[in-house]
Amino acid sequence: MTSKDYFHQVFSSMPRQGPGYPEATRKAWSLIPSVPPHPAILDIGCGTGTQTRDLAGLSDGTITAVDNYQPFLDRITGWSKQEGLSDRVRTVQASMDDLPFEKEEFDIIWSEGAIDIMGFEKGLSLWKQYCKKGGYIVVSDLTLFKSPAPEELIEFWKPYGVTVYTEEEKSRQISDAGLQLLHMFRLGEKGWLEHFYEPMQEVITKLRKENGDAPECAVVLDALEQEAVIYRKYGNYYGYTFFVMRNP
Ligand SMILES: C[S@@+](CC[C@H](N)C(=O)[O-])C[C@H]1O[C@@H](n2cnc3c(N)ncnc32)[C@H](O)[C@@H]1O
């Protein structure tokens, strides 16, 4: 197995693939001022679909769940069939920077913890075309709560090529993308610990027992554990902010 396989094994074994929790999804949904009776929703970087399921419960709409990793989408196909949702949830394997949709196809574009893969500003500018005029875009993304960040945190992010912007900087990026920021709020710490790093640690412990000697496995598990250590140390400096935006 390659490191990438082990990486996917960790995330496939977790209830969700990024920090978050259902109450935050519900809160963001409640901040959308007006939702049509049967909205067409696009969920980008959906993973195994934790928030996709929540969105299906919150609306009478149809949800198109997009990810570039087919095994995550297969999981969505599995649970949506079991839960009688397959007529409202469809999956599309595609890259978020090359989406196979029509202009203005969706009432609401949703993305939790995934836009940083292509960059906040670039993602918004590109995805906006798929959102109806007067529709909404909701994303959660990594932001800096206190600036400047400590040196150790900057050094930790460097190899990932991540530039983490403040909420003020992101507010400007939103208006530069031609969108209107309606609300923003921060994901609570339990979205990171209880719903993400704690289940991740259980998977890591199990995989270390089973494959601890494989260097391809150890390198992935060490990096993920280090990420959790950094969050526990500097979680007051950064986290996820939900941005609820309107396409005017
Ligand atoms: C941090 S996870 C978030 C998953 C889910 N939204 C959640 O909060 O549990 C990011 C997701 O983006 C997907 N992804 C990575 N690169 C992608 C790309 N270029 N296009 C589409 N999805 C991508 C990953 O497979 C993963 O499921």
In this prediction, residue 160 carries a pLDDT of 87
For the segment 24-80, what is each residue's pLDDT rounded down to a tens digit?
A: 999 999 999 999 999 999 999 999 999 999 999 999 999 999 999 999 999 999 999
For the segment 170-219, what is each residue's pLDDT rounded down to a tens digit?
A: 999 999 999 999 999 999 999 999 999 999 999 999 999 998 789 999 99
In this prediction, residue 161 carries a pLDDT of 85
Q: Tell how far the Cα of 153 is from the centroid of ligand 1, in angstroms.
A: 23
- Per cent of the chain over pLDDT 70 is 100
95 lines ligand 1 (CB under 6 A): yes
* Pick from 29, 136, 119, 50: nearest CA to 65: 50
Rounded to whole angstroms, how far apart are CA atoms 27 and 84?
A: 25
**For ligand 1, what atom is nearest to the CA of residue 96?**
20
Instruction: Write b or e for each residue in 191-227: b if 16 or more Cβ atoms lie within 10 A of its Cβ, otherwise e.
Output: bbbebbbeebeebbeebeeebeeeeebbebbeebbee
CATH of 21-190+235-246, one of 3.40.190.10, 3.90.1150.10, 3.40.50.150, 1.10.150.120: 3.40.50.150
* Pick from 155, 144, 153: nearest CA to 241: 144
**For ligand 1, what atom is nearest to the CA of residue 43?**
6
> What pTM was estimated for this model as a whole?
0.97
Residue recorded with tokens 């909420």: 167
Instruction: Write b or e for each residue in 43-79: b if 16 or more Cβ atoms lie within 10 A of its Cβ, otherwise e.
Output: bbbbbbbbbbbbbbebbebbbbbbbebeebbebbbee
14 lines ligand 1 (CB under 6 A): no
Q: Which of 68, 138, 197 to mutate to test the pocket of ligand 1 (most atoms within 8 A of CB)?
A: 68
Rounded to whole angstroms, how far apart are CA atoms 85 and 20?
A: 22
117 lines ligand 1 (CB under 6 A): yes
- Per cent of the chain over pLDDT 90 is 96
- Using alpha carbons only, how large is the chain's radius of gyration in Å? 18
Mean pLDDT of the residues in the chain: 96
Q: Tell how far the Cα of 119 is from the centroid of ligand 1, in angstroms.
A: 13
What does DSSP say about strands 180-186 and 238-246: parallel, antiparallel, or unpaired? antiparallel
Query: Which residue is closest in CA terms to ligand 1's atom 13?
Result: 45
Q: Which residues pair with residue 66 across a beta bridge?
A: 44, 92
Rounded to whole angstroms, how far apart are CA atoms 20 and 56?
A: 17
* Pick from 13, 51, 7, 71: nearest CA to 218: 7
Query: Which residue is closest in CA terms to ligand 1's atom 11?
Result: 45
Number of CB atoms found within 10 A of residue 160's CB: 11
